Amino acid sequence: MSNTSANIDQLAIDTIRVLAADMVQAANSGHPGAPMGCAPMAHVLFTRFINANPKNSSWLNRDRFVLSNGHACALQYVLLHLMGYKLSMDDLKNFRQLGSKTPGHPESNDTDGIEVTTGPLGQGVSNAVGMAIAERHLAATFNKPGYQLVDNVVYAIAGDGCLQEGVASEAGSLAGHLQLGNLIVLYDSNGIQIDGSTKLGFTEDVLKRYEAYGWHTLSVADGDNDLEGLARAIELAKAERTRPTIIKIETTIGFGAANAGTHNVHGAPLGAQSLEAVKARFGFNPQEKFSVPTEVYQFYNERAAKGAELEKQWTELLAKYAQEYPEEHAEFVRRIEGRLPENWEQVLPSFTPSDKPEATRKLSEAVINAIAPLLPELVGGSADLTGSNLTRWKNAVDFQPESTCLGTYAGRYLRYGVREHGMAAISNGIAAYGANIPFASTFLNFISYAAGASRLSALSHLRVLYIMTHDSIGLGEDGPTHQPIETMAMLRATPNFLNFRPADGNEVSAAYLSALTHADRPSVLSLTRQNLPQLEGSSIEKATKGGYSLATYGANAAKPDLLIVGTGSETSIAVDSAKLLANEHGLTVKVVSMPCVELFNAQSDEYRHDVLTAGVPSISVEALSTFGWHKYVHHPIGIDTFGASGPYQKLYEHFGLTPEAISKKALKVVEHYKTNAVPTLGLNL
């Protein structure tokens, strides 16, 4: 390499270091150490390898870059700015400020060029596995001889903390099995974390671990200075197409600072004097802030121009593909644009009360079998519970390397194994890649294993379907270890989630319709093990409103004495309770089905007030925690202890969730409000 090239490389690296430190100093908050230590590897990656067009950050065949180590977010913002993404110098100056494009950790909805929302360690590198799966699947589905429409590489930078997280191990193990040779992880091994040296608790041989997973492993001993060694390692990684690669790169955290190589530069600004000394060491004016030499901008602009030219060539190839493969082209473009096929919803099954009772997990299976042939973008699987979750449709092909003789990369069904957290994080990556709609399935109770990733589904506005079965004490004998009590309350408390507890077949179809048409929200479909009747008064259309008036029982429908709200498996119990109260006690009782409180909350005031009739005493019935129900009813009935082991019918009796027990409580509520004013509920204010 010429001296000129070496000089510009070093100038650019030092610029990244200083600019990242300036950002943290200006915010008086953040992590300067990792950006300063990772600057060489990131610079080599962005200027020599990553193919992307900053003027069009949604180009499908761009290489993906994931900064799993969210502590180094200033590094990513600096790189995006230098490359010419929609990130100005003022945005860098406003790092970590309210409403800025540069929040405290990378968020895909805030910043142009950020692929996934990271910050919680281990999530990004797991998302990268999902992106690599998505690339392999689309390539196998649409590529033709002479038409490599999909052939991008997924790169990630991860730190010691990322690789300590269990979710990264789950995802890494599966990536090795799936032989994802399009995935390259740069492991920033600086030996430091917030508490101090990694010698305090992380002394394993990481490369040996990943070798056991089936990864290709490489190392660079001097990640601070050996740019050519970094480049050679990445070239070797790109040449390995049947194994994912992890490159261990030994770096010095906070390189150039007085406290370099210690935890003191990890999570706090360098301080004015130390930062000035760093600038002087690297040849910058110590008094000048947020400075970028013109030649550094020019150097990065040249790489950005190459990315734009690559996209232009790809667009021309796509046009030729359209001529030779018009049907595949139309389908490819539809999926890229995120459009669902026309009239797909017409295949959703509908039901009448004369149809036989079914478990909603079985009804979900019927929906999946109906829609899977029409929605080829629907990909996903179960965490080793396929036979219980009922998520694999007829004629489904597993997503597997052909060498395993278990499936192909064109397959759409993923065998996640017992890796709930990894499954959810991988699903986020699949969704973020685009052109796919992922689903993930296990028992509802075990979404708690995956909460770190499912929360990021919501924060990132990703359409991920969580198909969760065995959703209450109705699962029976497996007992309280498997019976969710607080789980739905947690999910309902999570912003931007849609949570469905469908009561019958129509509501199951409505749940899928709503989940698939809300492109910017994840959904949980909470499904039963036990059979439920098909309800009189339910419909797909009504259920898409989240809550609706199901039926009224008694002589005076215009002025009910009581309102009962039911969800899921307890809606039919609410109906039976209402009938008992009407027939044996002469009350008029209105029953409301509430399959999705979030969709109900989004309806007009007039609609909500009509459904939850003001001035009428109300109760809710749900075999879960009562937490959160006082917003909707005066007296929630549920379970505020852990469950128990036994046949589910006995459990419903034990916890007072039978028509007889509910009616007794309902009579007390009605009697109370004969002499007391019926309070206005929070939702009706």
Among 165, 420, 598, 622, the one annotated catalytic: 420
243 φ, ψ (degrees, to nearest 5): -140, 140
**Which residues, in sequence order, are bridge partners of residue 186?**
157, 247
Half-sphere exposure of 84 (CA within 13 A, CB side): 19
**Which residues, in sequence order, are bridge partners of residue 466?**
440, 524
Residues 6 or more apart whose CB falls under 8 angstroms from that of 225 comprise 40
Tokens representing 426 are: 């991988």
309, containing H or E segment: helix 294-324
Q: In what order do the strands lie in the sheet with 589-593?
A: 548-553, 589-593, 562-566, 618-621, 635-637
DSSP class of residue 408 equals B
DSSP for 151-197? ---EEEEEEHHHHHSHHHHHHHHHHHHTT-TTEEEEEEE-SEETTEE
Distance, in Å, from the CA atom of 490 to the CA atom of 499, rounded to the nearest integer, reads 10
* Nearest alpha-carbon partner for 533 in 379, 352, 303, 371: 352
Q: How many CB atoms lie under 10 A from the CB of residue 316?
A: 10
Answer left, alpha or beta for residue 51, where phi above 0 means left and psi between -120 and 50 means alpha.
beta
Asked whether 128 and 162 are in contact (CB, 8 A), the reply is: no
Distance, in Å, from the CA atom of 258 to the CA atom of 463, rounded to the nearest integer, reads 46
Distance, in Å, from the CA atom of 473 to the CA atom of 44, rounded to the nearest integer, reads 55
12 φ, ψ (degrees, to nearest 5): -65, -45
Asked whether 21 and 278 are in contact (CB, 8 A), the reply is: yes
* Nearest alpha-carbon partner for 503 in 349, 611, 621, 360: 360
For tokens 């991988």, the residue is 426
Q: Is 420 a catalytic residue?
A: yes
Pairing of the two strands 523-526 and 465-469: parallel
Distance, in Å, from the CA atom of 218 to the CA atom of 237, rounded to the nearest integer, reads 8
**Which residues, in sequence order, are bridge partners of residue 379?**
438
Residues annotated as catalytic are: 420
